[in-house]
Amino acid sequence: MTKAWMIDELAHAGPEHLDAAFVAGFDRKQGYPDPAPDLAAFREHGVGRASTVVDLGAGTGRLTLAAAPHVGRVVAVDVSPAMLALLRERAAKAGLANVECVQAGFLSYEHAGPPADAVYTRNALHQLPDFWKALALERIAKLLRPGGVLRLRDLIFDFPPDEAEAVLDDWLDDAAADPSRGYTREDFAEHLRTEFSTFRWLLEPMLTAAGFTIVTASFERSVYGAYTCVKA
């Protein structure tokens, strides 16, 4: 899409994700969560040796690198050159010849080759305001084959607006103290001020409008959502 009203995805990527020093410490800060439940969700939906997986907002490649030994092709897509540089280096070091890195965003990635069997995206869709999330989800549906699976994880709010203060205060109270080992109170506050996490009750109709059936949805702390969806 090359319209004058098109959002600049790089400008919305989160400045820290473009900073090589932040990227170098990213996995430690993330705590590098276990990809096993995500890979299991893929397997349950038929993703195997011949499958193509697209990892959107792949970052340093937590899911890409874990999935690559089990599937045919992984396309790791990210707007950040710094993230992709580290991911490329890691894929090469691990001898994963089936990983392709593409610098693009949710709204600009053009999928080439057979339709994807699975799309993964974790903690990246919230970089886009809701209007753009809806367009991004529709683009994701288009690059998947019918029956293909979307595994979506993000900071998504599972509470009504009048509970926001209590839930979010509680969340911030449990933030990490050491910024090198986790997201701090200030990181979470900045997320709330400058990024676009949305409510569950807004996101789910967007998934449905894009043509997805929600198969599972689970939440931690009413803040961290994980969805498995299938394209009808």
Query: What is the smallest separation between the CB atom of 76 and ligand SAM, expressed in angstroms?
Result: 9
Structure tokens at 3: 């319209």
Span interacting with ligand SAM, options 124-132, 156-164, 180-188, 223-231, rule CB under 6 A: 124-132
Instruction: Name which of 53 and 162 has its Cβ closer to ligand SAM.
Output: 53
Say how far residue 161 (Cα) sits from the centre of its chain. Answer: 24
Is 137 near ligand SAM (CB under 6 A)?
no
Stretch that binds ligand SAM, among 79-87, 143-151, 166-174, 201-209 (CB under 6 A): 79-87
Work out whether 106 is an interface residue with ligand SAM (CB under 6 A).
yes
Structure tokens at 54: 């697209």
Q: Do residues 81 and 58 make contact, with C-beta atoms less than 8 angstroms apart? A: no
Within 13 Å and on the Cβ side, how many CA atoms surround 125?
Answer: 33
| Nearer residue to ligand SAM within complex by CB, 52 or 80 | 80
**Cβ closest to ligand SAM, residue 124 vs residue 207:** 124
Cβ–Cβ < 8 Å for 66, 39:
yes
Rounded to the nearest 5°, which phi and psi values hold at 5? -95, 5
| 80 is an interface residue for ligand SAM by CB under 6 A | yes
Phi, psi of 171 (to 5 degrees): -65, -50
- 59 interacts with ligand SAM by CB under 6 A: yes
Beta-carbon count within 10 A of 18 CB:
16
Residue nearest to ligand SAM (CB): 59
Which position has the token pair 């931690």? 220
Instruction: Tell me: does residue 124 bind ligand SAM (CB under 6 A).
Output: yes
Out of 54, 83, 118, 156, which residue is the one contacting ligand SAM (CB under 6 A)?
A: 83
152 binds ligand SAM (CB under 6 A): no
Tokens representing residue 57 in the block: 């907002």
122 binds ligand SAM (CB under 6 A): yes
Are 144 and 47 a contacting pair, CB within 8 Å?
no
Near ligand SAM by CB under 6 A: residue from 38, 78, 117, 154: 78
